[in-house]
């Protein structure tokens, strides 16, 4: 059931009272708070178990409002905002005074975006201000793409969940730093590097070597409970069957070229045919492997062009070394 006008009003009330609202966007569901209320922003970090140094994205209703949230709007930012907003592109700019440091992880830059989802836009317009929102999941785990995912993972910790159905894009936004002369992609996402190059007339820079605090860059992120192991496409079947024989409950992402190959494993899913469908379904499939009791997921990386870059980035992080349980805010919820 998609959110009604009454739901939007209720959600606005929750935001004004300093509460947390889960909101649908075209990328993933966000856990939103009034961006200008440091206490409410603090609750996001508590609920997620997210380190306070990890900055959040400020969501606004309209690109025209960008200047209210940043110190200045460079030309490249204006061009990119006009081309891609509303849409899955986040711009990092110098922080305006309106944005509390709690929302930026103490940084003097702020990430801003206009989401392309009718429910998110209705909420943002009715609320009038900015809503800071990271993905509505516990720190490090798989982002939610349905309201059911949010409720299953966060339960009563979120004051209100706005239902906007399944997310169309399915992976997070592309984050572009526009604080220096050449824009650089900090995180690949729903808008591709090729799309950005087409608008700018030159390719965006690769991320600088300087340490930038981007939560998605933690070695393990976007991770299901099951271990994720990446192998070459032609080895997926053999590796999966070997692990299953060794006693694992194996979930398999079967590459398209092997779609007709029978696999002796616990749960087998054919990789969706288009990168758009793969991105849209990726997190739901990872969650489904967990639900079906898999302890190991065997996958291969798609070609890193277009949306494939974002999918490969998320799969690599999902396969990354896990933080020790001591680092986890809710170790009990994530058995080894
Ligand atoms: P999440 O929704 O969990 O992916 O978190 C929001 C994303 O925005 C994270 O990947 C942040 O690193 C990114 N972000 C927010 N503010 C900044 C900033 N000032 N500089 C770089 N990245 C940022
Ligand atoms: Mg996240």
pLDDT, residue 219, reads 66
Helix, strand or coil, per DSSP, at residue 299: strand
pLDDT, residue 335, reads 38
pLDDT, residue 216, reads 55
Name 269's bridge partners.
253
The pick from 120, 216, 222, 310 for probing ligand 1's pocket by mutation, whose C-beta has the most ligand atoms within 8 angstroms, reads 216
Any alpha helices (H) in 107-158, and if so which ranges? 118-127, 147-154
Helix, strand or coil, per DSSP, at residue 252: strand
Query: Could you tell me which of 5, 33, 8, 31 has the C-alpha nearest to residue 18?
Result: 33
**Domains in the chain: ranges and CATH:** 5-200 (3.90.870.10), 227-327 (3.40.50.11030)
- pTM, entire model: 0.93
Give the count of beta carbons closer than 10 Å to the beta carbon of residue 32: 34
Q: Which helix (H) or strand (E) holds 110?
A: strand 109-113
Residues with CB under 6 A from ligand 1: 55-57, 90, 92, 104, 107, 109-111, 134-135, 172, 175, 186-187, 212, 214-216
Phi–psi pair at 195, nearest 5 degrees = -60, -45
Q: What is the mean pLDDT of each run of 10 residues along the chain (336 residues)?
A: 94 98 98 98 97 96 98 98 98 98 97 98 98 97 97 97 98 97 95 97 78 59 95 98 98 95 97 97 98 98 96 96 55 38
DSSP state of 139: T
Ligand 2 center–CA 139 separation, angstroms: 7
pLDDT, residue 326, reads 41
Tell me how far apart the alpha carbons of residues 135 and 259 are, in angstroms, rounded to a whole number: 32
Phi–psi pair at 215, nearest 5 degrees = -50, -40
């Amino acid at each position: 059931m998609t959110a009604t006008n009454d739901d939007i009003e209720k959600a606005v009330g929750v935001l004004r009272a300093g509460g947390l609202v889960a909101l649908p966007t075209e990328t993933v569901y966000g856990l939103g708070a009034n961006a200008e209320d440091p206490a409410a922003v603090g609750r996001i970090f508590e609920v997620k178990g997210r380190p306070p140094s990890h900055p959040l994205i400020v969501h606004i209703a309209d690109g025209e409002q960008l200047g209210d949230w940043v110190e200045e709007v460079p030309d490249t930012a204006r061009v990119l905002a006009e081309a891609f907003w509303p849409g899955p592109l986040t711009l990092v700019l110098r922080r305006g005074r309106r944005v509390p440091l709690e929302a930026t992880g103490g940084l003097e830059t702020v990430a801003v975006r206009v989401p392309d989802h009718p429910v998110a836009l209705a909420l943002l317009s009715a609320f009038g201000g900015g809503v800071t929102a990271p993905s509505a999941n516990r720190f490090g785990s798989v982002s939610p793409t349905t309201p059911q995912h949010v409720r299953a993972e966060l339960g009563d910790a979120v004051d209100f969940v706005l239902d906007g159905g399944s997310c169309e894009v399915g992976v997070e936004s592309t984050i572009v730093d526009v604080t220096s002369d050449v824009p650089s992609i900090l995180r690949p996402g729903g808008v591709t590097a090729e799309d950005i190059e087409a608008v700018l007339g030159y390719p965006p820079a690769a991320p600088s070597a300087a340490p930038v605090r981007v939560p998605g860059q933690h070695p393990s992120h976007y991770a299901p409970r099951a271990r994720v192991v990446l192998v070459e496409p032609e080895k997926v079947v053999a590796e999966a069957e070997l692990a299953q024989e060794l006693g694992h409950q194996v979930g398999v992402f079967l590459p398209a070229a092997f779609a007709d190959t029978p696999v002796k494993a616990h749960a087998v899913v054919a990789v969706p045919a288009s990168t758009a469908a793969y991105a849209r379904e990726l997190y739901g499939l990872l969650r489904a492997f967990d639900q079906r009791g898999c302890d190991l997921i065997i996958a291969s990386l798609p070609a890193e062009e277009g949306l494939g870059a974002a999918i490969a980035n998320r799969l690599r992080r999902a396969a990354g070394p896990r933080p020790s349980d001591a680092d986890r805010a809710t170790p009990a919820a994530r058995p080894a």
